[in-house]
A and B are shown apart, each in its own frame.
Chain A
Amino acid sequence: MSHDHDHDHHDHHHDNELDPMAARVRALETILTEKGLIDPAAIDVIVDTYETKVGPRNGAKVVARAWSDPGFAGWLKQDATAAIASLGFTGRQGEHMQAVFNSDDTHNLVVCTLCSCYPWSVLGLPPVWYKAPPYRSRAVIDPRGVLAEFGVTLPTTKKIRVWDSTAELRYLVVPERPAGTEGWSEEKLAALVTRDSMIGTGLALEPEAA
């Protein structure tokens, strides 16, 4: 699903016109506000939450803690919802969490083939590609082809486990800890944990990239 990034460029020539979706959404907000069904200020708070507060840095802290603390990693494996809540990350689209751990022999990849289920509480809102038909169609049948488009090539012998989020469980991939990071602080480790590495479409960054 492509987005037309030229909108802004076109719009400044005729500021009073909105593109059709912008007009449609504005009309809906006007109707609901006039009927007293919504508080437009609540929308502002929701948007601010997912633009500035809830995002993949949450998940990176969870992963860095798991790398640093075997007790936490064990808890995360047994009861991810509680372990993640202990770091302060709870709520919408993270009510029922599962953490899946990459290892020497298995790489995990998360998808929602039926819609866009995604662990908002630790990763924020999903990227466009995660919600779009190419990823949703191909992750379950051609994961290596998908990974190649993210620049990831796995050994041919490595097992690939694809988790299709068909119910209300939300999956967080714990990538393998890069070599050469012994003794690093959790904060420094978290900087190696990309969003894509927690979906399974990426790997944690190597220390020299940090």
Chain B
Amino acid sequence: MNGPHDLGGQMGLGPVAPEKDEPVFHADWEKRALGLTLCAGAMGAWNIDESRHARENRHPVDYLSSTYYELWIKGLERLLRRHGFVSERDLAAGRALDGAPEPKRVLKAAEVPAVLSRGGPSDRPVGTPARFKAGDRIVTRNFSPAGHTRLPRYARGRHGVVEAVREGFVFPDTNAHGKGENPQWVYTVVFDGREIWGDDADPTLSVSIDAWESYLEPA
């Protein structure tokens, strides 16, 4: 979607304002928000792509005025409601009133170290050979899907060069919507800064994205 999360190249958002000696968390609720998000994800009812889409699919005013952990909680509530684990009544009351489906798993404290150090790899075998190789000239597709995609607007319809063939990875554009993992080859594709931003761009700049094969056409 052409959503508020797709921020590359937008202007007027102010200085970066790095914080000296920044703490890992700025409030206790942020700790719980992180843990809740990971524990709820471990139930196995949704995947990381659906989770990302639940965070990004918001009104721009809401998205841009929320801190990142606020976006996580808003996204998490949406996922929990969508999958029937939490009802509006539960949320309004602040306690469990309605039932919930049986989750695939409940992450126990003792399992956490092993689960975190294992992670959740998203590489998958792809049944077809890679269409592109390093050095190939490509042009990215120009599209505006209503759903989730990982091709940023600034990198659509741009000419670039394949720098590396990576691996097969789960395709977020379908996986976010329950339409399957449909793994594709992923490539690191590099663009000259001027191809993206125009003649006034910093001449020393190049920008790369990691692009699924169906985002690319030969140029």
Contacts and interface: CB of A to CB of B under 8 A. Distances in A.
B116 interface: yes
A99 to B, nearest CB: 13
Given A42-B109, A129-B18, A166-B150, A137 B8 contact: yes
Nearest to B55: A115
Interface residues of B, number: 95
Given A115-B52, A161-B208, A25 B33 contact: yes
B77 interface: yes
Contact of B39 (A42, A114, A160): A42
A51 B122 contact: no
Contacts of B86: 28, 31-32
B149 to A, nearest CB: 9
A116 B29 CA distance: 19
A142 B209 CA distance: 16
Interface string B56-83: 1000000010111110010011001000
B179 interface: no
A113 B43 CA distance: 28
Contact of B96 (A35, A44, A96): A35
Contact of B6 (A18, A25, A114, A156): A114
B119 A21 contact: no
Nearest to B70: A21
Contact of A24 (B35, B73, B99, B205): B73
Interface in B1-52: 5-11, 13-19, 22, 24-29, 31-36, 38-40, 43, 52
15 contacts: A28-B73, A37-B85, A39-B107, A42-B39, A42-B112, A43-B32, A43-B36, A49-B116, A90-B118, A91-B119, A92-B115, A95-B122, A135-B16, A136-B7, A137-B11
Interface of B: 5-11, 13-19, 22, 24-29, 31-36, 38-40, 43, 52, 55-56, 64, 66-70, 73, 76-77, 80, 85-86, 90-91, 94-96, 99-100, 103, 106-109, 111-113, 115-123, 150-152, 154-155, 166-167, 169-170, 186, 188, 190, 196-197, 201-202, 204-212
